Structure 1
């Protein structure tokens, strides 16, 4: 095993350049003191939002401070993540985080005070040129006015927040800290530690006995606590239902989707269209059964690769070449932004002792994007790098073209640009690889990505809506009923190629996203939108790529997310984007089956 280097042993060219934010830690400290000293500026606006001029001044002041504190926090958290063992930067991040909390608390009065301005007056003010950069924010506030309660009621709900969060906190503590599983045992009798972190890796093993052991030990453990976990899940669903009813929403789903102004038909179209194409999922599970040489596929067989023993090494330098070449359909300007990132140290490339694991894209208004990697020489890391550059270019364009209050983007569209990049990369690699086994490996990964991000997440979305509807109808969410609903959905989605057992019925008990209030459907819609948009760009060329850049990447949150996607070329209120994504999945199945004839 290669020795993991220290931070000091990293070559500068392979690290991100944080001097683009602050020249030194001393400069950070100087800015910190300045901003800490500006806490209190909000006092002159409290109770004074009674004129257009005062509102404009308050919004501009809050925005300026938010931008400055954002840069402060990003510098501190990146310093910390490059070596989490260094106490100095742990303290720095904690210090910056505390300042963010103080700032948010100090300015929390602003929205309630704006809401005290009557609707007609606020509508008149927001049309004034002095509020042009805040007009859309104010429009959204006015649209939510019908669901804002009296000051006394709002205060009561806020005070109840900690109590209502208890089911989620209890589940999180139990799932992450208290729950332990028996070791999984392989075909030779060797024990393997079974944890939340190792479970999926064990299911990818070529040793079927090990896969079965991991699967049965995990779900037997969850099954032993199913009654307790049904109560924590029922608690959070009850909270969602109560909050929606208290504010006058039609349902818990109505409230959850209204937060991002997403029409409920988007949810229904997703579920219906995916259900209409479940024959493709069933075709995939049957193909998997044949490829693994099994009479019946079990649920512990759905993660292990169908294509094995493929040596697909990829150095960082090779990966950069593949990535840049694959994104050429996006045009010279797009590719040059990525080249700028590669040449000007946006990426912190290699692992070192103490470095945060995983990968992400970070940054804030007024900084370039920053990408954290822990590079390993394989093709999966190439896809991760390309994915994170999707986020980074999206952020780059939106920050360059929008004021800071509109430069972020909704979670509904957050994964589109990253999955879009991956789709272009997969298409380019498939067309340019000569090794048939590598092509099969690549297609296997694409099929698995689609299964996990579209079919699986839509199944989760269907389950989530069913249990909220049950609660709204007065039906208790018992463990037995949850098992029954989840088991039926799992059978429907995976089809006859899979031989079922009782273990999978309790999978609902381990999914933390069910505590996040109608969150999971966005994985499916984002992936499908990316598949549809990338297909358009590859088939239609430069004009479509320009539309995607101008109408999506540059827009930030300057319009409702559903409109941003529609103007880019995908109307998520219709079934067409999901149907287009299904065509991509079907084409990948066709390609996989055709290539099998060549091996």
Structure 2
């Protein structure tokens, strides 16, 4: 009989553990760097009020900022990842807390740099760049700061706005407490006949149940509970929208949307293109909804049927070594250089594979400049985990190439492009597995996996993005945002996006009330644009071969050395235009046609 008990950390074979000693040989080395930061941090004070004195003063400050950043990144990452190996280990809990405290102190010590650079007029700054060759490295960094100048107020005004930060975070924090601590959902009867309380953690599991009654009970139980708090939740979201508009107006932006996109230097048309293009292709989504209804054999498809499995999960067990082989074969189109680096990483302690007692759940890719990236996994022997491995290694190789190529100041990439490399890997793996599927059932499972990813990442997130845009525009025009207004807008969007084959349950009008992302407005569109860009890049790699691979590798090496839109443009994807989204939707259609043929 198989032993289901979790192993202790020391019982895991070392070939399945990451090698954090490649960051620090031992904890004593970590302590030395921790002490070093504390020793050099006071030197930063010597630059305060002096950045405008001379180019040498500015250069000295920026170089010290890089030195502090590079060492502190390693200190912070090592302590956190050691803690993640076993969260019950009090030694590493303590080191993580100390590292966190150090990062706060660093943030305070460096806080004068940006305001002082903004206080230097452009003419003087250009003169500095001409007189001091060392500053040329920082030209893009300085341009980035100066780009914010027209939206930066006087030091005293900025100080007052900064002081309002905790007030501004109020709606999000209150929603989080209400949603995570105070709301209690009812019990339902699960597939085994047991009474189980609905939780945030098990809700999707219930929605994926093969028992329709379980899905319906979970759906109605969840939304009945939110319905009892709908006025409070409406007031919170309204306050969050007003907060977005306040900060946008006070910083002289044309709208809350423009203010949010400005940080990444993304034109508003990129956001609008996404919504417009997806809307013009909703017929494809309607076909998928109709196919889902047919495959489930239902007279009516309801919102609680949207996660029900169309194809039973492949039960075959895939050991980790086999998963590695599948990923390596799937990513072969990325060429010899990529594959060699990937294999070396997997075999040389980048990946922490197995679950153990106390280990952090889930999966991530992380690391620090000056070393190499790491992947945390809790590998289970199934196909989903094969995709997770490919996904996280995509992040890792993106970081690895950026760190190998870029100076520290440009070594980290922006969120806008963060999901591109991981999704390229997943797309290539899907294509490989489809081409080598053992039978129709496996092929159907893979196509369904892709279509569901697409539904959740492109169609659903675009609908969220449109909801955010509408409610902010209404508030900016002075229209009241009531609970009823939120629900009407949201219900209509669901009707528009899901189409005629969906029996639209009234409860879905309240879904806005449970989405935490709405308190971090205009963020979710990045999931849809990232997925679309990755889909276009993967297609180019498969069709064009080496020239597309070369462009893609250059993109992976670019880190944060340019604006995200420009980096993607150089890779061959222009997000200023609707074409990449159209290309991604074309791939969705091809997969959909395949699945329609099979039923």
TM-score calculated relative to the size of structure 2: 0.98
The answer to whether the Cα contact below 8 Å between 1:369 and 1:396 also exists between their aligned partners in 2 is yes
Alpha-carbon distance in structure 1 between the residues aligned to 2:344 and 2:232: 52
3-state SS in 2 of match to 1:192: strand
Alpha-carbon distance in structure 2 between the residues aligned to 1:463 and 1:91: 43
Aligned to 2:135, which of 108, 128, 131? Answer: 131
Does residue 215 of structure 1 match 2:233?
no
Specify whether residues 309 and 119 from structure 1 end up closer, same or farther in structure 2 by C-alpha distance, changes over 3 A only.
closer
Structure-to-structure mapping, 1:544-583, within 5 angstroms: 544-550=548-554, 552-583=555-586
The answer to whether the Cα contact below 8 Å between 1:123 and 1:139 also exists between their aligned partners in 2 is no
Question: After superposition, what is the alpha-carbon deviation per residue over 1:475-531, rounded to whole angstroms, capped at 9, x for unaligned?
Answer: 121110000000000111111111012110000000000011210000000000000
Q: What's the offset of the Cα at 1:3?
A: 1.4
Structure 1, unaligned stretches of length 5 or more? none
Aligned to 2:474, which of 451, 454, 470? Answer: 470
The answer to whether the Cα contact below 8 Å between 1:202 and 1:211 also exists between their aligned partners in 2 is yes
The answer to whether the Cα contact below 8 Å between 1:5 and 1:353 also exists between their aligned partners in 2 is yes
3-state SS in 1 of match to 2:365: strand
Does residue 205 of structure 1 match 2:241?
no
The answer to whether the Cα contact below 8 Å between 2:314 and 2:383 also exists between their aligned partners in 1 is no
Alpha-carbon distance in structure 2 between the residues aligned to 1:302 and 1:504: 12
Q: What's the offset of the Cα at 1:206?
A: 0.2
The answer to whether the Cα contact below 8 Å between 2:313 and 2:445 also exists between their aligned partners in 1 is no
Structure-to-structure mapping, 1:361-510, within 5 angstroms: 361-510=365-514
3-state SS in 2 of match to 1:197: helix
Q: What's the offset of the Cα at 1:325?
A: 0.7
Structure 2, unaligned stretches of length 5 or more? none
Q: What's the offset of the Cα at 1:37?
A: 1.9
The answer to whether the Cα contact below 8 Å between 1:187 and 1:207 also exists between their aligned partners in 2 is yes
The answer to whether the Cα contact below 8 Å between 1:420 and 1:534 also exists between their aligned partners in 2 is yes
Alpha-carbon distance in structure 2 between the residues aligned to 1:208 and 1:344: 47
Hey, what does 1:523 align to over in structure 2? 527
Q: What's the offset of the Cα at 1:27?
A: 1.4
Alpha-carbon distance in structure 2 between the residues aligned to 1:126 and 1:218: 59
Aligned to 1:320, which of 317, 324, 329? Answer: 324
Q: What's the offset of the Cα at 1:192?
A: 2.3
Alpha-carbon distance in structure 1 between the residues aligned to 2:192 and 2:206: 15
Structure-to-structure mapping, 1:208-247, within 5 angstroms: 208-247=212-251
Q: What's the offset of the Cα at 1:120?
A: 2.0
Alpha-carbon distance in structure 1 between the residues aligned to 2:340 and 2:155: 51
Question: After superposition, what is the alpha-carbon deviation per residue over 1:339-394, rounded to whole angstroms, capped at 9, x for unaligned?
Answer: 11111010000000100000000001011110000000000000000000000000
Question: After superposition, what is the alpha-carbon deviation per residue over 1:289-330, rounded to whole angstroms, capped at 9, x for unaligned?
Answer: 000000110000000110125324211010000100111111
Aligned to 2:36, which of 31, 34, 37? Answer: 34
The answer to whether the Cα contact below 8 Å between 1:74 and 1:364 also exists between their aligned partners in 2 is yes
Alpha-carbon distance in structure 2 between the residues aligned to 1:426 and 1:193: 36
Alpha-carbon distance in structure 1 between the residues aligned to 2:437 and 2:273: 36
Alpha-carbon distance in structure 2 between the residues aligned to 1:192 and 1:280: 37
Aligned to 2:362, which of 358, 361, 366? Answer: 358
Aligned to 2:111, which of 108, 113, 126? Answer: 108
Aligned to 1:585, which of 577, 588, 596? Answer: 588
The answer to whether the Cα contact below 8 Å between 1:312 and 1:438 also exists between their aligned partners in 2 is no
Aligned to 1:73, which of 73, 76, 99? Answer: 76
- Aligned residues: CA RMSD: 1.1
Does residue 155 of structure 1 match 2:159?
yes
Specify whether residues 554 and 188 from structure 1 end up closer, same or farther in structure 2 by C-alpha distance, changes over 3 A only.
closer
Alpha-carbon distance in structure 1 between the residues aligned to 2:197 and 2:357: 23
3-state SS in 1 of match to 2:140: helix
The answer to whether the Cα contact below 8 Å between 1:307 and 1:444 also exists between their aligned partners in 2 is yes
TM-score calculated relative to the size of structure 1: 0.98
Question: After superposition, what is the alpha-carbon deviation per residue over 1:66-106, rounded to whole angstroms, capped at 9, x for unaligned?
Answer: 10010011110000001001111111101111101101111
Question: After superposition, what is the alpha-carbon deviation per residue over 1:157-190, rounded to whole angstroms, capped at 9, x for unaligned?
Answer: 0111111111111001111111110012246753
Structure-to-structure mapping, 1:43-192, within 5 angstroms: 43-49=45-51, 50-126=53-129, 128-186=132-190, 189-192=193-196
Alpha-carbon distance in structure 2 between the residues aligned to 1:172 and 1:41: 39
